[in-house]
């Protein structure tokens, strides 16, 4: 089932570790190994996964390495009244939707290439680095409250995905450069599955999103403030 351009892994946190390991290889290496044979996956390759609330029986947390391969973690809320009425009407009748291709694989690759060509200023890169590096526990310049609340921080893939996501957001907004606001708007979906609140934070009702919001509130966004802050200077120089 992995040999497709788009793969949906439904209820991924109910799958056994062996299945997760196979998916990890596919997402990271773009290949599947069977015995001594390596099978390359065709491009583009995109994995979309759903997971059940961890409080439900039969579920368990995904390994950090697995979560880190996903660009975004997005919460799906209950449908609105009108949406649920449409779902009820269509799924209890003979309605069969007609699936029409929107883009070819080659067009998707061209769009991905265009996204990567969007320029990013040194200021925005430094802001992104400051935001992500402040999540890393017991590192130079990390705020003390982060050390108290987090057991694990975000790695380099968080920086990469924040910048790539911000480039795509800029293009979708009709702009040809990335702004600090793009980074701030994508910080939660990119970081929430890459930082781990510890027991102290959880017992106090602190969530990943609240940590991210405080980081955004406390990290200077202006270039002059970013360069003059001693703590951030330590982070960017470490």
Q: For residue 24, which of 52, 73, 65 has the smallest C-alpha distance?
A: 65
Residue 56's pLDDT is 62
Residue 55's pLDDT is 62
pLDDT in tens, 206-227: 999 999 999 999 999 888 877 7
* Domain architecture of the chain: domains with CATH: 6-70 (3.40.50.300), 106-237 (1.10.8.80)
3-class secondary-structure state, position 6: strand
Distance CA 143, CA 130 (A): 11
- Residues 6 or more apart whose CB falls under 8 angstroms from that of 8 comprise 48, 49, 50
- Residues 6 or more apart whose CB falls under 8 angstroms from that of 149 comprise 197, 198, 200, 201, 206, 211
pLDDT tens-place values along the chain, 238 residues long: 688 999 998 888 888 777 777 788 888 889 988 888 999 999 999 999 998 776 666 676 778 888 999 999 999 899 999 999 999 999 999 988 888 999 999 999 999 999 999 999 999 999 999 999 999 999 988 999 999 999 999 999 999 999 999 999 999 999 999 999 999 999 999 999 999 999 999 999 999 999 999 999 999 988 887 777 777 777 777 7
Distance CA 42, CA 126 (A): 34
pTM exceeding the 0.85 threshold for the entire prediction: yes
């Amino acid at each position: 089932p992995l040999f497709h351009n788009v793969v949906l892994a439904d209820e991924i946190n109910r799958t056994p570790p062996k299945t997760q390991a196979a998916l990890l290889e596919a997402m990271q290496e773009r290949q599947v190994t069977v015995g001594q044979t390596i099978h390359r996956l065709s491009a583009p390759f995109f994995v979309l996964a759903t997971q059940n609330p961890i409080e439900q029986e039969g579920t368990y947390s995904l390994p950090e390495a697995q979560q880190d391969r996903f660009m975004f973690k997005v919460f799906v809320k209950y449908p609105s009244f009108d949406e649920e009425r449409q779902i009820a009407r269509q799924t209890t009748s003979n309605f069969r939707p007609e699936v029409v291709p929107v883009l070819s694989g080659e067009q998707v690759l061209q769009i991905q290439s265009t996204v990567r060509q969007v320029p990013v200023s040194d200021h925005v890169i430094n802001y992104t680095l400051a935001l992500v590096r402040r999540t890393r526990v017991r590192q130079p310049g990390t705020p003390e409250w982060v050390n108290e609340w987090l057991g694990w921080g975000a790695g380099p893939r968080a920086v990469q995905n924040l910048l790539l996501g911000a480039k795509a957001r800029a293009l979708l907004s009709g702009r040809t450069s990335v702004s600090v606001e793009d980074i701030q708007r994508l910080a939660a979906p990119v970081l929430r599955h890459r930082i781990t609140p510890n027991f102290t934070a959880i017992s106090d009702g602190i969530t990943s999103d609240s940590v991210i919001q405080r980081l955004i509130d406390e990290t200077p966004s202006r270039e002059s403030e970013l360069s003059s802050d001693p703590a951030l200077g330590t982070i960017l120089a470490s």
